[in-house]
Structure 1
């Protein structure tokens, strides 16, 4: 083994350890122990180290079928992942990063913050014995998640892809506009379903074959991985009333209140209907089913099997909590983080409104709406992180304490902070419009930020680059959609991406001529869509 390869593996493990061991409150801060990055190459290195080490855990666990308690080491990476696989992980992260659009909030930097936060959350899981079952087995306080390397990898993978190709407008706006994606996904979790499609389509590109086969070496692994990722990403659609009601029902069933701590008693009490997740048949030998999102779990009516099914429901709920907490991590980390991402969100919503893609001006109620968001979403989420018990009492309380502190400071300083955010948002909007009028079709997040300019250069549309996300589309499974000319537009209420012409290249030809990653590192402006009348 060359010295260079040994150093590369060592640096990857060291970076992963630094990202994982940093304090929850410091994640995403530019002056933190691991500075937040806006440089694309640096983000790719950070996220690649997380995916590499989490996937190495999966491989080692498969080999040993024993619990992994030690963090990754240089030797761990070297023995678990091939150089080809490790290189493809970096290429995959780079490609996904290029498919994130240059919007103000739902951009690659957001994906990085969510992925690093999700990685930290699964590292914070507090595994300890908690009583024993009738069979004498020690119960897991994390319901097995802390020792399930595959589920933990699915979490960080989902975090990476969860907002890819986001247009910078809410799902409701896409439905109002009759966007092609809204029609395709029947107005249901439009952006989330599209991100899942883009993520898996990219992963299935032949140039990522080693990475793909390492994740899912067997058909049953592929089924389980897709189920996990689909469930996790769809859980991030917090604006969907239907999904929120589903989650609340799952939460009540998985973690009943102390006033009614026995699930069996609560189910069979007078006047209490059977939970929607269970279909029971009391005849001896008949099976029952537990429905969790896209999965249906069958189990016998014997208490032991039913307990397993109920624990699977708890796992599903905890994974939902983890990705939702990571998605809004800035609201329960630090004041500095909150202000940064709050300003980014306002920029995005304000720009959409000014461009005719928003129902109302977000400015007048910005101060008050943040309080409402804390009261009706963030604080209940933080309390569930504590109540579910997987983080232990001390760490679980930390989420609640941080969220309350940020809300309290917003009450004190939020009016003044809001005025600054609104002023900055308007100035930022005019800078972007000036760029468009100047003929620059590749919009960056902030013209005053040199690092954003560098990112823009690294994602610049160069020639006819192909978007890996378009490979193996539903209508053309053996073809890739290749844009002849693409223009990215940020003004008006019309479609933001116009394709002047598309042709299809057979997959075989693509594999022969475009195997190099540079051929598919598409920008956010290069993902083709079908022409619309």
Structure 2
């Protein structure tokens, strides 16, 4: 169900999935060491962890839904920006009203496949009730409104506003826990989608070049209005400053992900500094490489 794109492909989906799984596995309680607790203390620790992580660690279905969402989030991605799908007036653009076209299509295709009669037994094992199916669908839907650098400014603003309401304003206890869980999951998925920007420099470089290549090929094919060569260096700095670094800080701020949040932020800061120093040269080198490949065809 994944196309042979340079960036939006099954390998990228697998990378995002592994990031989600890693962050979920790093969720920690404030100070507990379960290996040193007796049965009563362990029960108390479990409750503390449930509260500290807003119930995420106590809900296997939620964790599965996060992993499932990562796996499907770019299914059938065409390898061109949503803006081009709208400009070309494609059927998909019309179907989704020009909003997060590729992302909504991915969710619908994957959910449609899971709903096929061939997977009845699988569905009954994973989510036998309507409430459980709605829970998975709701989390999967969080991938359907734009993510990473393709997410619209409006959706980013709405996410930021929801974060402020959940973690800054005083709200009823029950509502607060549910709202915080929802927002943490949303930011977990967003961070995992751009996990390469918060990992080692060579990982960041690999996926950065792949995305540049995908967009450059789209431009060459007349399916993108902008040549990435003209904006990639400065655009990447802006993306790191305005999206990646704030996202990494929020992972740390929510206090759920232990040392992983520090790792994400530290790598993002280092990658930003390294890109500022070497990015222009890297873009020039990639452009030359792609131009030579085009001439060699």
Is the 1:163–1:191 contact (alpha carbons within 8 Å) kept by the matching residues of 2? yes
Shift of 1:429: 4.4
- 1:334 partnered with 2:200: yes
1:88 corresponding residue in structure 2 = none
1:162 to 73, 96, 104: 73
Greater length-normalized contact order (CA 8 Å, ≥ 6 residues apart)? 2
2:157 corresponding residue in structure 1 = 245
Is the 2:107–2:143 contact (alpha carbons within 8 Å) kept by the matching residues of 1? no
Structure 2 CA distance for partners of 1:329 and 1:203, relative to 1, 3 Å: same
- 1:195 partnered with 2:106: yes
Which structure has the larger Rg?
1
Is the 2:145–2:151 contact (alpha carbons within 8 Å) kept by the matching residues of 1? no
- 1:417 partnered with 2:282: yes
1:372 corresponding residue in structure 2 = 238
Structure 2 CA distance for partners of 1:429 and 1:382, relative to 1, 3 Å: farther
- 1:107 partnered with 2:14: no
Q: What are the ranges of 5 or more consecutive residues in structure 2 without an aligned counterpart? A: 33-46
1:354 to 217, 220, 232: 220
Is the 1:385–1:396 contact (alpha carbons within 8 Å) kept by the matching residues of 2? yes
Q: Secondary structure at the match of 2:227?
A: coil
Map 1:451-462 → 2, pairs under 5 A: none
Shift of 1:365: 2.4
Alignment partners' CA distance in 2, 1:336 and 1:251? 31
Alignment partners' CA distance in 1, 2:132 and 2:260? 32
Q: Secondary structure at the match of 2:263?
A: helix
1:363 corresponding residue in structure 2 = 229
Is the 1:203–1:212 contact (alpha carbons within 8 Å) kept by the matching residues of 2? yes
Q: Secondary structure at the match of 1:140?
A: helix
Is the 1:127–1:146 contact (alpha carbons within 8 Å) kept by the matching residues of 2? no
1:445 corresponding residue in structure 2 = none
Give CA deviations for 1:162-212 in whole Å, capped at 9, x if unaligned: 000000011111111111100001111111110011101111222222211
Q: Return the structure number with greater helix share.
A: 2
- 1:344 partnered with 2:251: no
Shift of 1:396: 2.0
2:174 corresponding residue in structure 1 = 308
2:59 corresponding residue in structure 1 = 148
Structure 2 CA distance for partners of 1:364 and 1:143, relative to 1, 3 Å: same
1:403 to 231, 254, 268: 268
Q: Secondary structure at the match of 1:209?
A: helix
- 1:119 partnered with 2:25: no
Q: Return the structure number with greater strand share.
A: 1
Alignment partners' CA distance in 1, 2:30 and 2:73? 31
Alignment partners' CA distance in 2, 1:364 and 1:223? 43
The aligned length equals: 281
1:182 to 93, 115, 122: 93
Alignment partners' CA distance in 1, 2:77 and 2:143? 17
Alignment partners' CA distance in 1, 2:29 and 2:106? 32
Q: Secondary structure at the match of 1:363?
A: helix
Give CA deviations for 1:296-321 in whole Å, capped at 9, x if unaligned: xxxxxxxxxx3111211111111111
Shift of 1:127: 2.5
Map 1:230-269 → 2, pairs under 5 A: 230-234=141-145, 236=147, 238-256=150-168, 263=170
Structure 2 CA distance for partners of 1:129 and 1:218, relative to 1, 3 Å: farther
Shift of 1:232: 4.1
Give CA deviations for 1:234-274 in whole Å, capped at 9, x if unaligned: 36265212211210110110111xxxxx525xxxxxxxxxx
Structure 2 CA distance for partners of 1:355 and 1:235, relative to 1, 3 Å: closer
Shift of 1:390: 0.8
Alignment partners' CA distance in 1, 2:18 and 2:57? 17
Is the 1:374–1:407 contact (alpha carbons within 8 Å) kept by the matching residues of 2? yes
Shift of 1:427: 3.4
Structure 2 CA distance for partners of 1:153 and 1:175, relative to 1, 3 Å: same
Give CA deviations for 1:208-227 in whole Å, capped at 9, x if unaligned: 22211111112221122212
